[in-house]
Structure 1
Amino acid sequence: MFDHIGIRVSNVEASERFFLRALEPLGVAVAMKGPDSVGLGKNSKPSLWIYGAKDRPTPLHLAFAAEHRSQVDAFYRAAIEAGGHDNGIPGLRTHYHPNYYAAFVIAPDGHNVEVVCHFPEG
């Protein structure tokens, strides 16, 4: 449904470093830069815009799709190594549906970042 989304952060450079490292297993890279902003995405198309904010932004929940469960695991490791805080280790969340495999990490500014795979193992 969305073409792209923008979030506010207190430190664009720190959030850029976090999101690039955390989402690298999904193939996310810098797609575009603007004044006090950066657009991240795949294939040079910005899908997640990070904008500077003067005040601490209200935390959001951001969920990114993975094609394989191994990408969820890799996201979690990379996000924790990048300074994120655990908010749910990789695993099945069968209360959503039988193949909902996800991990959750709190990013800078308190954003709850999830990577989810909706496919069965293998």
Structure 2
Amino acid sequence: MIDHMTLRVRDVARSIDFYAKALAPLGYVAKAHHEPTIGFGVDDGTAHSDFYVSPAAETGEEQAGAVCPVTHIAFLAPSREAVHAFYEAALAAGGRDNGAPGPRPYHPGYYSAFVLDPDGNNVEAVVDWAHGGAVSEGVETE
């Protein structure tokens, strides 16, 4: 079981703005403030964050043109509607399309959307009924 992860980014302020908007439809908010690192988590009344955004280099070590490794991260969405809302919010926040909402061929019931964040990281919101995801009202599963 994963407790938390940290994504290294080139421009922390830009990425915090992007993730605050893109993850809002999934119930995520900025919670842990360890500047310049910011932790996001589900707005559940606790201080626990499971996703952190942090500089690619330690403070004072940033270099122009520094390479930032590209990562893939998938956030569990509660419904197909939330997948669509994530996708629209992420695009509106400056993300780039990397796969519109829809079923995927990975296995039956896998429904997701992909966007690239400001650093080119592949960010996904997914409902996966094969692994216990919730079914939205009035929406058939694949």
What is the RMSD of the two structures over their aligned residues, measured on CA atoms? 1.1
Task: Please give the TM-score of this superposition, normalised by the length of structure 2.
Answer: 0.81
**After TM superposition, what 4+ stretches of structure 1 lie above 2 angstroms from structure 2?**
119-122
State yes or no: 1:9 paired with 2:9: yes
Q: SS at the partner of 2:94?
A: coil
Cα distance in 2 between the residues matched to 1:107 and 1:76 = 11
CA drift of 1:35 comes to 2.6
* % same residue: 42
- Higher mean displacement: 34-43 or 101-110: 34-43
State yes or no: 1:47 paired with 2:50: yes
Cα distance in 2 between the residues matched to 1:6 and 1:13 = 15
Task: Please give the TM-score of this superposition, normalised by the length of structure 1.
Answer: 0.94
Q: Which runs of 5+ in 2 are unaligned?
A: 57-61, 130-134, 138-142
State yes or no: 1:102 paired with 2:112: yes
CA drift of 1:121 comes to 4.9
- State how many pairs are aligned: 121
- The correspondence for 1:113, drawn from 123, 131, 140, is 123
Cα distance in 1 between the residues matched to 2:79 and 2:97 = 20
Greater RCO, 1 or 2 (C-alpha within 8 Å, sep 6+): 1
Cα distance in 2 between the residues matched to 1:87 and 1:19 = 16
Q: Which has the higher strand share?
A: 1
If you compute each CA radius of gyration, which structure gives the higher value, 1 or 2?
A: 2
Q: Deviations over 1:27-49 (max 9, x none)?
A: 10011111311001112321111
